[in-house]
Amino acid sequence: MKIGVTGATGHLGTLVTEKLKQRTSPANIVALVRSPQKAARLGVEVREFDYDKPETLAPALSGIESLLLISASEVGQRSRQHSNVIEAAKKAGVKRIVYTSLLRADTSSLSLAGEHYATEKMLRKSGIDYTILRNGWYTENYTGSALNAIKGGAVLGSAGDGRISSATREDYAEAAAVVLTGKDYSGKVYELAGDEAYTLKDLASEISKQTGKDIPYRNLSEKEYTDILKNFGIPEGYATAIAGWDVATSKGALFDDTHQLSKLIGRPTTQLATAVKDALAAKE
């Protein structure tokens, strides 16, 4: 059985490919990427796959039975790009699509939810067997900026006391590999999130604990946070979105206590302390 992985050179796609190699022969895996030269290190078959070149997609999916559609990175373009992939999968005879969506995409107040839910609806209408993995936030979204927090002397945000049930990319990648190589996942929707919920104040406390420095959490208004992000060189539209996601977080958008992710992968999700430790070690 051939398994195709879109975006296989991205952070999540690379990890999924590695997890799949632990569960099936590398000969069964196809990396579908925009830049094939970047995928040579993956050790699997590589095919060029560009969401914006729909006429090339179906031939690239030839022989693939299960497809992992990792959501595209271009916000605002996802629905169109995902539609191109789903239509190509129908033409190529792909039997199953596993899609990485967003936690509670059907009800979430996060601005990202609309495109994800639109893709879910396309999958339901496609006639192709599907499984939807509604991924929560990546812990790396926060630990990736730990060094900046240390340099600046504080963790910044607008999330208030909102609890965040994040998990690491590795946790989500393992879930995708489990579903892609398993059975009995047809038509199922999984709300995937970390076992441990924390606030940004808890994150700041963990960074402080591991560095021996006093790194508090500074809660800002949405406008204040947006302006600071813009001063850091982040484009205005993206800065506005990040601050908006934090405000949604303060209202519970990233909290989940169903533990579906740990049940799916058969182990507890990665603890925040471990993720912070790994992030700090990577910066050294």
- Domain positions in the chain are 2-135, 157-161+195-256+267-283
* Cβ partners under 8 Å of residue 235, min gap 6: none
Percent of the chain with pLDDT over 90: 92
Beta bridge partners of 2: 64
At residue 175 the predicted structure's pLDDT band, cuts being 50, 70 and 90, is very high
Amino acid at 272: L
Average pLDDT, stretch 77-86? Answer: 93
Q: Is the pLDDT of residue 76 over 90?
A: no
pLDDT of residue 21: 97
Residues 181-227 have pLDDT tens digits of 998 999 999 999 999 999 999 999 999 999 999 999 999 999 999 99
- Domain 157-161+195-256+267-283 adopts which CATH fold? UDP-galactose 4-epimerase; domain 1 (3.90.25)
Q: Can you tell me which residue has the tokens 């609890």?
A: 163
User: What is the CATH code for 2-135?
Assistant: 3.40.50.720
Percent of the chain with pLDDT over 70: 99
pLDDT of residue 284: 53
pLDDT of residue 74: 79
3-class secondary structure, 2? strand
- Please say whether the beta carbons of 200 and 159 come within 8 A: yes
Each as own residue / partner, the long-range contacts of residues 206-215 (CB below 8 Å, 24 or more positions apart, any chain) are 206/272, 206/273, 206/276, 207/146, 207/149, 207/150, 207/155, 207/276, 207/280, 210/273, 210/276, 210/277, 210/280, 211/150, 211/280, 213/150, 215/149, 215/150, 215/153, 215/154, 215/155
Amino acid at 86: I
Q: Is the pLDDT of residue 146 over 70?
A: yes
- Comparing 150 with 283, the larger pLDDT belongs to 150
pTM (two decimals): 0.95
- Strand ranges for the chain from DSSP E: 2-6, 29-33, 45-48, 64-70, 96-102, 129-135, 155-157, 189-192, 217-219
pLDDT of residue 283: 61
